[in-house]
Structure 1
Amino acid sequence: MQKTGDFPEKTQAERLNQHCACVTLDRRAITRALADQLGDDADDMLSNPRWHQLFSNVAVFVPPQDLDQMRAIVQALEVAAALPAYRRRVLSWAPQSARYNPGPMGAFMGYDFHLGKQGPRLIEINTNAGGAFLNAMLARAQLQCCGDATSAAGSSDFDAAVTAQFESEWRAQRGSGRPQRIAIVDDQPTEQYLYPEFRLAQQSLRSHGIDALILSPADLRDESGALYNGSKRIDLVYNRLVDFGLEAPEHAALRSAWLDGGAVITPNPHVHALFADKRNLAVLSDHETLSAWGLSPEKAELLHSGIPRTVQVTADNADALWQQRRDWFFKPVAGYGSKGVYRGSKLTKNTFSRILESDYIAQAYVPPSERLVLVDGQREMLKVDVRLYTYRGALLLAAARLYRGQTTNFRTPGGGFAPVLLMED
């Protein structure tokens, strides 16, 4: 593993990202793949303009040492998250109910990175990271470009790895066997931007012998210690809700099934409290504290250098943060989808006052890398995030998102999901 700070002045991957305008996405191939997977429903999805904004035409090139570094950071973080003292600390600010741990480790963990001259920096952890199935399909619809780049998609058989992930989550709580029926659950799922991937997940699970339903919480009831949709018993819930504590009244059936063991819920409030509460980043970037809790010096240093300095926003540090606001990025502790986040340089005094009245963290600003794209024949540079989808620290898939603005989005012409290609120097 390469030490942070040892990265070369400009890698071959960086040169390609800045100058290669190859269109690598075979849109006809991805259209055919969607039609094969979803049948008649594919026509409705392809007619929606949002579909075409999901995918960029280009791939993102990443040096293998960057990918190795990102994987090492993820593995070090998951070791840190198992430390008893760490768990006591982060659960101290979690909802009481989140302290219940039925065993699952969380399907589709998502770790988001910015890549820079000092190596990868982890900027966000997500427990219901979206886009994995879409990115797996995207990776299979690429044309050859720029020499000897190879895909960094992760598992050689993504669908089999996904099924194994859900089976492992089942056994973590139930001990043996496999789930017979999985519910993919979100509020108003057919209205969700990433609904197409719910259908891809459903088809993937069914092809591996597990029935899968796409449901809203209103379709569920907890009865006699079991979760049902009508007369069908739900064994496992693939939870895509952003009510991370399952605290909303309309999610009562799911909350009951989680607390009384009526169904395996993944990811669940306990996993979110351990990993994705943004206050945790202040602990995970604290070398001295992690070392005192028993994390090895190598892993503690890896997290210290690989996670931007993070602090909770309080009345005590408010003046200093305001004076140095250009150096910080402000995020709500329970935020999702880039909602409520602010680049310090864009802050007004009124907005900062509202931040002080809410629960926020400040994270040292790490500029993202950039990727050249052609938009209507014009060359433009878009920002890049790289996401690792993992399970128990093992890589399932690597993907990128291209965007303009202060946060990731799917409204940027030429932007969207992009495959990650490894490029040796």
Structure 2
Amino acid sequence: MNHHAVPSPLDHIRSIAGNLNQDCACFSLDMDALHQSLHADSVLSAWWPHWQDTHAHLFAASGLFVSQTQLTAMQEAVKVLHEVMTSPAWRQHALAAEPALQRAGPRGVFMGYDFHLTESGPKLIEINTNAGGAMLNLALTRAQRACCDAARDWMHTATDVTQLEQRWLDMFAQEWALQRPQEPFIPLQGRARTLAIVDEDPASQYLYPEFLLFQDLFRQAGVDARVLTPQDLSWVDGQLQHAGEPIDMVYLRLTDFDLSQPAHVALQQAWASDACVFTPNPQTHALHANKRHLATLSDAPFVAQLGLQPQALSVLASVVPPTQLLTPDNAERLWAERKRYFFKPLSGFGSKAAYRGDKLTTKTWAQISQLPYVAQALIPPSQRVVMVNDQRKTLKVDVRAYAYNGQVQLFAARLYDGQTTNFRSDGGGFAPVFVTPT
């Protein structure tokens, strides 16, 4: 805590979380504990000695304090959003144009619900399938120490993380059972299951260390896990294969969400034929993460037709910012009102080609106004003060809830400056979330 900070006239009404986020700018990350938590002597032994050269902004040195009220509201929002977006009425709406996706199967691991925190409660910014960073954030959350007396009483994790690796393994087993109910995920005898963690050029991905941690977790549980590119896989005799061996399950980290790219034809054939279990999969994205849904969820007349309970309607109205599709009919109005909106491409991911309206140039607008975009009401992020080179620096904050089947498993924050989360901000990166009463 900075004991030399000038008292604010608002201090008597500011929340505990607000006080800590503004005034407690010292470090809580314990590097020795992080080394141990990441298994850096074994799994990440080649990466750890150089990680600060390549990933200097992956982990923030300070945590984020969030009130129990805000956390409870996010948990309720995730539950309601999941219930709505897996309901028969929503499935019919979301999958109407894609009958091939109309089937039972896995729900999708590691759903990510991103929020900005406001005085009127959390606001949903985005829903992601294959949300990255969960394993890294678990290690980070476990590698914290109280930075000062003022923070020590409030450094409680927002969720129970004691047995989270086992819960994640159970989650993959549940996904398997939804498609292969008669076959155990981990056989008692015979060939071990093969699981492919698939992404484009995984070793070059910023979160590649997480792939290695997942591979180790699966292998310790008796699953033959492999980190692969789509090109490592082939479709042979009705099987998805790697090096001549069948692949039983795919943990899909690709951002080609519908597997439509020509280079991914083997994956598409395996998914379409149920030859192996995919999680998440094209249906997961179509149901939950198409950005068109942000407009639908904020469309009160449409949502009213879904037959929801009043409480669910109230949650959606509170948490989903007004969002609309960018069309030729409203383009002129949205340009005039652009400072009130954040513009996102329907097919985008990871903040790519997304723009704050007040930062848009006429040249960029001429381009995006011809493309499929949504305009989401601009919700300024909350802030966290950190120390960088002995100077106080204010960073922006979003909070991600990692969830499965509507239940939040882990909260994590991302600290950044600039328009969007970028893992390039001094003092920024992933940050643990600690819960305070107010």
In the superposition, the TM-score normalised over structure 2's length comes to 0.91
Could you tell me whether the CA contact under 8 Å between 2:38 and 2:136 is conserved in 1? no
Q: Deviations over 1:355-378 (max 9, x none)?
A: 121110000000000001111111
- 2:379 aligns to what? 366
What are the within-5 Å matches in structure 2 for residues 14-413 of structure 1? 14-36=18-40, 38-39=42-43, 41-48=44-51, 49-92=53-96, 97=100, 99-145=101-147, 146-149=151-154, 150-176=156-182, 177-178=184-185, 180-413=193-426
Task: Quote the Cα distance in structure 1 between the aligned partners of 2:89 and 2:221.
Answer: 40
Task: Quote the Cα distance in structure 2 between the aligned partners of 1:10 and 1:261.
Answer: 54
- 1:3 aligns to what? none
Q: Deviations over 1:350-408 (max 9, x none)?
A: 21121121110000000000001111111000000100000001111110000000100
Task: Quote the Cα distance in structure 2 between the aligned partners of 1:278 and 1:154.
Answer: 31
Could you tell me whether the CA contact under 8 Å between 1:136 and 1:153 is conserved in 2? no
- Quote the offset at 1:42 in angstroms: 2.0
Could you tell me whether the CA contact under 8 Å between 2:40 and 2:48 is conserved in 1? no
Q: Which secondary structure does the structure 2 equivalent of 1:142 belong to?
A: coil
- Quote the offset at 1:152 in angstroms: 1.3
Q: Deviations over 1:158-187 (max 9, x none)?
A: 110110110011111111311522110001
Task: Quote the Cα distance in structure 2 between the aligned partners of 1:374 and 1:322.
Answer: 38
Q: Which secondary structure does the structure 2 equivalent of 1:320 belong to?
A: helix
Could you tell me whether the CA contact under 8 Å between 2:78 and 2:408 is conserved in 1? no
Q: Which secondary structure does the structure 1 equivalent of 2:275 belong to?
A: coil
Could you tell me whether the CA contact under 8 Å between 2:95 and 2:102 is conserved in 1? no
Task: Quote the Cα distance in structure 2 between the aligned partners of 1:272 and 1:9.
Answer: 42
Task: Quote the Cα distance in structure 2 between the aligned partners of 1:11 and 1:308.
Answer: 24
- Quote the offset at 1:323 in angstroms: 1.0
**Aligned-CA RMSD value:** 1.6
- Quote the offset at 1:204 in angstroms: 1.2
- Quote the offset at 1:9 in angstroms: 5.3
Task: Quote the Cα distance in structure 2 between the aligned partners of 1:134 and 1:124.
Answer: 20
Count of residue pairs the alignment pairs up:
415
- Quote the offset at 1:87 in angstroms: 2.0
- Quote the offset at 1:288 in angstroms: 2.8
Task: Quote the Cα distance in structure 2 between the aligned partners of 1:50 and 1:286.
Answer: 43
Task: Quote the Cα distance in structure 2 between the aligned partners of 1:106 and 1:154.
Answer: 21
Q: Which secondary structure does the structure 2 equivalent of 1:43 belong to?
A: coil
- 1:5 aligns to what? none
- Quote the offset at 1:37 in angstroms: 6.1
Q: Which secondary structure does the structure 1 equivalent of 2:235 belong to?
A: strand
Amino acid at match of 1:44: W
Task: Quote the Cα distance in structure 1 between the aligned partners of 2:39 and 2:46.
Answer: 8
Task: Quote the Cα distance in structure 2 between the aligned partners of 1:107 and 1:42.
Answer: 27
Q: Which secondary structure does the structure 2 equivalent of 1:52 belong to?
A: coil
Task: Quote the Cα distance in structure 2 between the aligned partners of 1:319 and 1:10.
Answer: 41
Could you tell me whether the CA contact under 8 Å between 2:218 and 2:224 is conserved in 1? yes
- Quote the offset at 1:45 in angstroms: 4.3
In the superposition, the TM-score normalised over structure 1's length comes to 0.94
- Quote the offset at 1:10 in angstroms: 2.5
Distance change in 2, residues 1:155/1:286 (3 Å): farther
Task: Quote the Cα distance in structure 1 between the aligned partners of 2:329 and 2:90.
Answer: 24
- Quote the offset at 1:155 in angstroms: 4.3
- 2:5 aligns to what? none
Task: Quote the Cα distance in structure 1 between the aligned partners of 2:15 and 2:83.
Answer: 30
Q: Which secondary structure does the structure 1 equivalent of 2:114 belong to?
A: strand
Q: Which secondary structure does the structure 1 equivalent of 2:353 belong to?
A: coil
Distance change in 2, residues 1:201/1:331 (3 Å): same
Could you tell me whether the CA contact under 8 Å between 2:37 and 2:142 is conserved in 1? no
Could you tell me whether the CA contact under 8 Å between 2:116 and 2:398 is conserved in 1? yes
Amino acid at match of 1:47: H
Could you tell me whether the CA contact under 8 Å between 1:37 and 1:203 is conserved in 2? no
- Quote the offset at 1:46 in angstroms: 3.3
Q: Which secondary structure does the structure 2 equivalent of 1:111 belong to?
A: strand
Q: Which moved more, 1:254-263 or 1:84-93?
A: 84-93
- Quote the offset at 1:69 in angstroms: 0.2
Could you tell me whether the CA contact under 8 Å between 2:402 and 2:411 is conserved in 1? yes
Q: Deviations over 1:270-315 (max 9, x none)?
A: 1101000000011112233222221111101211110111100001
Amino acid at match of 2:305: A
Q: Deviations over 1:113-140 (max 9, x none)?
A: 0001111001000001000000000011
- Quote the offset at 1:248 in angstroms: 0.7
Distance change in 2, residues 1:269/1:37 (3 Å): farther
Could you tell me whether the CA contact under 8 Å between 2:234 and 2:240 is conserved in 1? yes
Task: Quote the Cα distance in structure 2 between the aligned partners of 1:394 and 1:53.
Answer: 29
Q: Which moved more, 1:177-186 or 1:393-402?
A: 177-186
Task: Quote the Cα distance in structure 1 between the aligned partners of 2:126 and 2:171.
Answer: 22
Amino acid at match of 1:120: P
